[in-house]
């Protein structure tokens, strides 16, 4: 019998530090962790974070999360998730 693993999800923004687009949310690093393990990946901001996040939280919460990330704040999502619900599901990647 397999046990479904549930993770806390944290999003850490990376804002451009200089140039014409200083302050732009370029990428987000996601960390899914529980007491036993953690997984880390990142996504490129392609303008879909709000709609992507609304698949796991309310549209209002998704908007709030994106606003916090754009302000440079690390965000912990309010729920707990299975890894397959969140890993690789947000924004764009270099593999696209």
56-82 pLDDT, tens digit each: 999 999 999 999 999 999 999 999 999
pLDDT, position 92: 85
Residue 63: how many other CB atoms lie within 10 Å: 15
8-53 pLDDT, tens digit each: 999 999 999 998 989 999 999 999 999 999 999 999 999 999 999 9
């Amino acid at each position: 019998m397999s046990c479904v693993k549930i993770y806390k999800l944290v999003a850490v923004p990376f804002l451009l530090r200089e140039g014409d687009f200083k302050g732009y949310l370029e990428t987000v690093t996601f960390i899914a962790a529980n007491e036993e393990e953690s997984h880390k990946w990142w996504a490129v901001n392609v303008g879909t974070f709000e709609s992507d996040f609304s698949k796991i939280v309310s549209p209002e919460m998704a908007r709030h999360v994106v606003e916090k990330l754009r302000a440079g704040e690390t965000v912990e999502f309010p729920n707990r998730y299975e890894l397959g619900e969140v890993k690789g599901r947000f924004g764009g990647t270099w593999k696209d």
